[in-house]
Structure 1
Amino acid sequence: MHGKKIIIFTGPSLSHLEASAILEADYRPPVRRGDIQEAMKENPDIIGIIDGVFHQSPAVGHREIIDALRKGVKVVGGASMGALRASELSELGMVGVGRIFTSYLEGEIESDDDVAVAFNPENLEPLSDSLVSIEFNLKRALRRGVIGDPDFRELMDTARKIFYPLRNYRRILHEARIPDDVKESLLLFLESEGRDLKREDALEVIHHIRKLAYGSESKD
């Protein structure tokens, strides 16, 4: 199975360098409308969709993914655009992986705004924080007693009001009306224990595709 042609679209959620250390594949920038059609010209066996553009240009179309599935290509998605499209197309055969995919599938989150981030077009690194990770970390802080219920609601209201390219923890903490000592405690918690859900799910996508391609074999 070592001759599998694998194309994976990723960017801010997981760097090409980190992903390629786990799985050798053709790594490409966040997917746009038409990219799957172009990829199909190379007869891939597996297509992975992690990141995709949302607002800068037309998003990847459902039809091009469906066409790939109908032609026997395994399409796996998770973490960001991949999670959203997988939740919409799971009944047609697209495979979804990870916590964010499950949240979309179960209707816990519905908007692309929940996973959208701004990224540097040169190196594809994220420039903002995703709402889905922000909410996850704030809920953990709430359970730990770092923040209280009113603080949690204020922080989430503040986060939702900030346009996604500008959304990050420091801006949220600056704008939220919560006590300064709570802000300091939360910042310490986020710096020491904050988790990036999109990155975690992206890693799960890469491992899932690796297993699909190689079974129990190692990469080497």
Structure 2
Amino acid sequence: MAASLPPNVHVSTHPCLRAKLSQLRSSSTNAANAKRLVHEISTILSCEALACGLSAEPVGTDISPLDYEFTVEGITPANISLVPILRSGLSMVDAVQSLLPSPITVHHLGMYRDKSTLQAVEYYNNLPPYRSEDDTGGMDLAIVVDPIIATGSTVCAAIDTLKDWGVPRIICLAVLVSEAGVRRAADLWPEGVEIWVAGMDAETDERGMIKPGLGDIGDRLYMTIGK
């Protein structure tokens, strides 16, 4: 593990998560099992990230089946949106949603990495019209999900888009990152972004793929390898 990562980068040490990541890396893991493993890894990672990124507060009272009054707690911030980066980010959506006590909005960002420049190109954005800080319908926290941060271009583009839109805080969740890529993302907006990852590899190859990595996770999930 690299020393002196930025303070807003958190690499999980959960033993079950790390074992599942090893299973996901294997070329023998088929699409169905890859989907299952991404979901399970995302669930563990989300538990760790949201335990630090959210807090509970009293929101009222209710009555138990034995007719005792108890304090009802909710989470804060209340205005949260989930932002999967298409297409592979969709594989992490259910895991995050299953942890939250209430449904939240999902805003999709479609991006692909240009093969020649390795830069992100946005082709889809369904963020709502910008809301002012005084509008309580605004977004207090965006949870960005994308399984891979390799060069960092895609997640940096997503952070820039959300920051420009007016989001005050971002939590990024990723299954696997390269050290350089995650450093680049962390340094882009250190006061506004927290990055939680299941694993980190040292470098990328000439194609911008993480070494040893786990391949193109989108192609593995959707069985489009060689397309």
Structure 1 length-normalised TM: 0.37
| More helix per residue | 1
The structure, 1 or 2, with the larger RCO (C-alpha pairs under 8 Å, 6+ apart) is: 2
Structure 2 length-normalised TM: 0.36
